[in-house]
Amino acid sequence: MLISKKAVVIVDFEIDADAVFLVIKNLGAVPALKLKIRPLAAILGLEGKKDITKLSIFKEISYLAPLKEIKIFIDSYESFFTHLKDLSVHFKISYKNEKRGSFKIKIHHDLRIYADLIYFIKKY
């Protein structure tokens, strides 16, 4: 795995068996500071009862260590896609490095690529 010499923060979805997770990860060799992740719409989890974008982790992460990964359980696969309002999910991410450099990125996820996986999960 190639490790960046600067902080590189991503937000991604992970399907693990019958569960859906949101993963926040610093792919870099230096920490990300004052990390703010702004989902542009609600992401419902726990059988559609909880908007995970309201969790305090989305307000600010003051320090995300190099190569650190935070994995947040959202919901079962079937429930997640039942309660998902839009198959397109967008995040605005901003953070600083130790030298006070600022970084901003937008990540767009098209969740249609995962939508038919339940067939294979249940079959096998």
Q: What are phi and psi of 72, to 5 degrees?
A: -115, 120
The 10 Å CB-count burial string (b at 16+, else e) for 2-19 is eeeeebbbebebeeeeee
**pLDDT the model gives residue 124:** 47
Question: What would the pLDDT profile of 76-107 be if each residue is shown by its tens digit?
Answer: 988 998 898 888 999 999 999 887 789 999 99
Cα(101)–Cα(12) distance, rounded to whole angstroms?
23
Kindly report the pTM of this predicted structure. Answer: 0.87
More confident residue, 5 or 67: 67
What is the tens place of the pLDDT at every residue in 14-39? Answer: 988 789 999 999 999 999 999 999 99
Q: What is the mean pLDDT of residues 37-58?
A: 94
